[in-house]
Structure 1
Amino acid sequence: MTHRSIAIVSSIAFGVLLALAPAGSAHAGVAGSVALTSDYLFRGISQNNQEPALQAGLEYAADSGLYVGTWGSNISWLSDLTAFGIPVSSSLELDVYGGYRGKFSDTVAYDVGALYYWYPGDYPSGFNSPDTGEIYAGITFGPYAGTTFGAKYSYALTDLFGYTDSDGSGYLDLNANWEFVPTWTLNVHGGRQWVENNDVAEYADWKLGVTKGFANGFSAALAYADTDADEPFYTNAYGNFLGEDTVVLTITKTF
């Protein structure tokens, strides 16, 4: 059994456990955020040609644990294709998602749902749509001594971001967050992207950073990120390797 098959079977087994677990509760209401980042990294790959991005999101969560939300950011990885002579106008990512969050216990929580990535714009005839639908399942442990640990697997129901015949692709996200002093959190992440029938596009990514919380819902995050992505494959028309090591600063306001 391949690593991808193991992850899929594990996700199915996890879904069965969810059906047997007691329902958790969440705080109902609407929450939102606005962020300015020096580079929009998605799974370690720059989405905006290593330039700043403005991002915003809004989510409604019910007491039952059900939630629905939307999130958006400016991007350039599609419109940059014009430098290759491919006329694409899309410069925006809009996501819509929904799911259910609950708890197995006071220190073990789960999250299952679906997410759709939409890239509005004009595309040439025959261009494989980058729009992508994924389902996901995640589990979080903690806090233990101020540290939480999480794992999440995302599975593509459609072609993944325009890769041909790539439905069934998956991404594994592992993370740990340690509040070592009040309002200061150390963030550690490791991930692996599998792309069905497109081995050259597969890679691992990792990140080490720190987040500082401030009053009135503001926070600042500084992180070092890197990947082992294939450099020629992930180099754009402007000669920029989008998976290179980089330092990213993000300022966020939540409300």
Structure 2
Amino acid sequence: MSSRTNARNTAIAPAALALAFALSANAPAHAGASGSVSLSSDYVFRGVSQTNQEPALQGGIEYASDSGFYVGAWGSNVSWLSDTVVVGDDISSSLELDAYAGYRGKAGERFAYDVGALYYGYPGDYPGGFNSPNTAELYLGATVTPTDTLSLGLKASYALTDLFGYADSDGSAYLDASLNWTFQPTWTLNLHGGKQWIENNEAFEYTDWKVGVTKAFDHGFSIAAAYADTDAEQALYTNAHGNDIAGDAFTLTLSKAF
């Protein structure tokens, strides 16, 4: 997920939410329980490092019914909140725990849609008066698969609460466009572009993009390499350690699906 020096994530205007579509990258192929665990060289969310450009261990589990309804949970180590200070223990938060639920459906053979709600939780200790980073979002999306090897997606997320600690930022939004092309068996090209809007915090808004490739192996293993960047204002995204967490980033991720 995307972080800031003193806040977090992004979004898109309410009117756009009703028109937006999204790629459901984690949609299971069949009903039942599924999950994954991964180790990444950096946790980059919406173009911004959540771990001060350090490794992240992540995992999640989901249950989907035959009707299309699903529920899941996901977690990762993070440091973007505690990285707002170098010395002292005013902020103690090293974990992100997310919960989500929604419905996935299809209209014909080539069009799928997904609608749901997602809650980002950051347990920890915070100083008095600190605006809570916990965030609730609604999302709406769809994918189109023109061929068996190509998928195109759009996804819109809309914040029901203040967005990752930004003051008076409820109503913020994020729009995500994705392309995934399996150009050779087990090899997939991954492209992404996104735009973050933050209500009453326009200086922190930005556009992000990513290009990567994923190699799939037997038994649910995969490895992904990606390069990401943003046009975020460097001074606003430089943390207390002097790192530009919204700058260009190259990541390697090893995953196991089950």
Structure with the largest fraction of helix: 1
- Seen in structure 2, the aligned counterparts of structure 1 residues 158 and 84 have a Cα distance that, compared at 3 Å, is farther
Letter of the 1:209 partner, please give it.
Answer: G
Equivalents in 2 of 1:68, 1:78: separation in Å? 27
Equivalents in 1 of 2:147, 2:195: separation in Å? 25
Q: Give the aligned partner of residue 36 of structure 1.
A: 39
SS in 2 for 1:200: helix
Q: Where in structure 2 are the equivalents of 1:173-212 lying within 5 Å? A: 173-212=176-215
Equivalents in 2 of 1:145, 1:32: separation in Å? 24
Equivalents in 2 of 1:250, 1:6: separation in Å? 35
Contact 1:95 1:118 in 2 (8 A): yes
The structural deviation recorded for 1:81 is 2.3
Per-residue Cα deviation, 1:106-162 (whole angstroms, up to 9, x for no partner): 100000000000000011110000000000000100042511000000000000000
The structural deviation recorded for 1:84 is 6.5
- Seen in structure 2, the aligned counterparts of structure 1 residues 72 and 204 have a Cα distance that, compared at 3 Å, is same
- The runs of at least 4 aligned residues of structure 1 exceeding 4 Å deviation read none
Where structure 2 has 5 or more consecutive residues not aligned to the other structure, the ranges are 1-11, 22-27
Per-residue Cα deviation, 1:25-49 (whole angstroms, up to 9, x for no partner): 9721100100000000000000000
Residue 67 of structure 1 is aligned with which of 52, 66, 70?
Answer: 70
Q: Give the aligned partner of residue 250 of structure 1.
A: 253
Equivalents in 2 of 1:104, 1:84: separation in Å? 54
Letter of the 1:245 partner, please give it.
Answer: D
Letter of the 1:56 partner, please give it.
Answer: G
SS in 2 for 1:197: coil
The structural deviation recorded for 1:5 is 4.9
The structural deviation recorded for 1:9 is 4.3
Q: Give the aligned partner of residue 8 of structure 1.
A: 17
The structural deviation recorded for 1:201 is 1.0
Contact 2:13 2:158 in 1 (8 A): no
Contact 2:141 2:156 in 1 (8 A): yes
Residue 82 of structure 1 is aligned with which of 63, 85, 89?
Answer: 85
Q: Which structure ranks higher in relative contact order (CA pairs < 8 Å, sequence separation ≥ 6)?
A: 2
Per-residue Cα deviation, 1:22-79 (whole angstroms, up to 9, x for no partner): xxx9721100100000000000000000000000000000000000000000000111
1:47 and 2:50 correspond: yes
The structural deviation recorded for 1:229 is 0.7
Equivalents in 2 of 1:215, 1:124: separation in Å? 47
Residue 227 of structure 1 is aligned with which of 227, 230, 237?
Answer: 230
Q: Give the aligned partner of residue 164 of structure 1.
A: 167
Letter of the 1:55 partner, please give it.
Answer: Q
TM normalised by structure 2 equals 0.90
The structural deviation recorded for 1:8 is 3.5
Where structure 1 has 5 or more consecutive residues not aligned to the other structure, the ranges are 15-24
Aligned residues: 241
1:108 and 2:117 correspond: no
Q: Give the aligned partner of residue 18 of structure 1.
A: none
Q: Give the aligned partner of residue 6 of structure 2.
A: none
Per-residue Cα deviation, 1:179-216 (whole angstroms, up to 9, x for no partner): 00100000000000000000111000000000000001
Equivalents in 1 of 2:47, 2:69: separation in Å? 29
Q: Give the aligned partner of residue 92 of structure 1.
A: 95
Equivalents in 2 of 1:170, 1:220: separation in Å? 30
Q: Give the aligned partner of residue 57 of structure 1.
A: 60
The structural deviation recorded for 1:97 is 0.2
Per-residue Cα deviation, 1:159-187 (whole angstroms, up to 9, x for no partner): 00000000000000000000001000000
Letter of the 1:7 partner, please give it.
Answer: A
- Seen in structure 2, the aligned counterparts of structure 1 residues 8 and 32 have a Cα distance that, compared at 3 Å, is closer
